[in-house]
Amino acid sequence: MSLAFEPVELPNGVVLKNRICKAAMEENLADIDHFLAPSHELIELYRAWGKGGSALVLTGHVMIDPRALGSPGALCLCDDLVDSDPAYLDRFRQMIDACKEGGAEIWLQINHPGRQTPKALGQVAKGPSAVAVDIGRLSRVMFDKPVEMTEEDIQVVIRRFARTAALAEELGAGGIEVHAAHGYLLSAFASPIANKRTDRWGGSLENRTRLLFEVVKAIKREVKSPKFGVGVKINSADFQRGGFEEQDALQVIKTLNTLGVDFIEVSGGSYESPAMRGINLSTRSAQREAYFLDFAEKAAALSTVPIMCTGGIVRRETLDQVVASGKTIAGIATAIGIMPDLPNRLERGEDPAPRLKYTTSWVLSGSVLASATTRQVNYSMERIGRGKEPCPGVWPAWALLMDQVAGLGQASKYKKVVVKYLDERDGRAVKRGKKEE
């Protein structure tokens, strides 16, 4: 039997039935009418992934702040929304239970978008410094220049990460993964391009990564069970000149090894340089599967906890290469997104190598191409959630256009439902405060 289908024990004592993880993808399938809880389609999607053979299923990012979303249809699990709707927490519990029914571990990937908060949502983007996202001509259309976070803002974010992890534990999730990659808040703090601070949160690598480490420590203090898992996703590099580099990542891994985490997932890039989609990589890395395998091997050599290598894995041969060291887990995203039972098929000896049928790299480029590819996968995931067959052959430009149209409606509903609720709640709190005075 392939090593990929041998069990592996994590540091928290949890034994995964194999070394395949359904890696996180942005589903954009929250039910906004139920205050960013999982929709019925999303619950059914996780049911399909749970019985598809992956040992571990990581959710798409679950936001920790309802006023800071990565997309208008993103899930958000936080204290602010617990009382918003009687079905709010139950929807999350249903999603977790549906996935576990199939024998998979499910961990929630928790995240804050930072300066990559979409402009369409009408919220104030915050980041380590007032440095705007630069994706060329679309920059001003998609993102506002962020406001530099205060010390109080930073402490609030730390508490929010910890509270979302605690809620995940209460709802039955096996663990969480802290998203500190792809240019989101914790990744931006680590990058000298986005972080120009001169206080204890900026400057040296130690200072720039302090927020990530404080978040991990806060989560470990907040959750109750020592078996509740904590993973961390980091960039192997930003793939931008002057950004977070490979040696920085290796140093971060050394420190994370001392904090009691259960795995470290390595990826790379951001909206500005979407290496996670095989864009702006070296020719050798981009043309093969497992984009970050070279770095994952270096990381595994020095890490005392398992390393997860994610990015571009499609074929059985590549899967075997990734897990060959015995210290590495394979994170598979797109291929499982369009074929939920891929791990089961691979274990049976099949090698279907599912791929998106069309690309338009000759028309689209950079961040636009990466976004279009993401929307192709989203199209199939939504179909699976509706009980239909996936459609890897959808044209990426069409998928992107349909997503943009749907996104406008989602953003409008978000303002009418979620923001209105939060504004009214905050207004009531202010009134109560004045009466108490």
Mean pLDDT to the nearest integer, 179-198: 96
* Domain spans of the chain, in order of start: 3-357
Of the chain, the percentage scoring pLDDT greater than 70 comes to 90
pLDDT for 424 beyond 70? yes
pLDDT for 365 beyond 60? no
pLDDT, tens only, 285-343: 444 466 788 899 999 999 999 999 998 899 999 999 999 988 899 999 999 999 999 99
The DSSP annotation for 295-307 comes to HHHHHHHH-SS-E
Q: Which two tokens stand for residue 292?
A: 């970050």
What is the bridge-based pairing of β-strands 105-111 and 62-63? parallel
pLDDT for 179 beyond 50? yes
Q: State the pLDDT at residue 281.
A: 43
- DSSP letter at 118 equals B
Provide the CA 283 distance to its chain's centre, in angstroms: 26
CB 41 within 8 A of CB 27: no
What is the residue-averaged pLDDT of the chain? 91
Phi, psi (5° rounding) for residue 4?
Answer: -60, -25
Q: State the pLDDT at residue 205.
A: 97
Q: Binning pLDDT at 50, 70 and 90, where does residue 149 land?
A: very high
Q: Binning pLDDT at 50, 70 and 90, where does residue 280 land?
A: very low
CB 108 within 8 A of CB 171: no
CA 324/CA 187 separation, integer angstroms: 29
pLDDT for 138 beyond 80? no
Q: State the pLDDT at residue 171.
A: 98
Residue for token pair 């931006």 = 188
Mean pLDDT to the nearest integer, 186-209: 97
Mean pLDDT to the nearest integer, 376-399: 93
CB 72 within 8 A of CB 122: no
CA 234/CA 242 separation, integer angstroms: 17
Provide the CA 299 distance to its chain's centre, in angstroms: 20
CB contact set of 416 (below 8 Å; sequence gap of 6+): none
For the whole prediction, is pTM greater than 0.85? yes
Residue for token pair 């209105």 = 420
Mean pLDDT to the nearest integer, 346-366: 76
Q: State the pLDDT at residue 287.
A: 40
CA 20/CA 342 separation, integer angstroms: 10
Q: State the pLDDT at residue 1.
A: 65
Name the E strands within 159-287.
Answer: 175-180, 229-235, 263-267
When computed from its CA atoms, the radius of gyration of the chain, rounded to whole angstroms, is 20
Q: Which two tokens stand for residue 279?
A: 């864009």
Q: State the pLDDT at residue 229.
A: 98
Mean pLDDT to the nearest integer, 238-251: 86
Neighbouring C-beta atoms of residue 124, cutoff 10 Å: 11
Q: Binning pLDDT at 50, 70 and 90, where does residue 359 land?
A: low
- b/e for 155-166, b at 16 or more Cβ within 10 A? eebbebbbbbbb
Query: What is the CATH T-level fold of the domain 3-357, as seen in this structure?
Result: TIM Barrel (3.20.20)
What is the bridge-based pairing of β-strands 15-16 and 20-22? unpaired
Mean pLDDT to the nearest integer, 128-151: 91
396-414 vs 366-385: helix crossing angle, rounded to 10: 80
Q: State the pLDDT at residue 337.
A: 97
- b/e for 331-343, b at 16 or more Cβ within 10 A? bbbbbbbbbbbbb
Phi, psi (5° rounding) for residue 138?
Answer: -85, -5
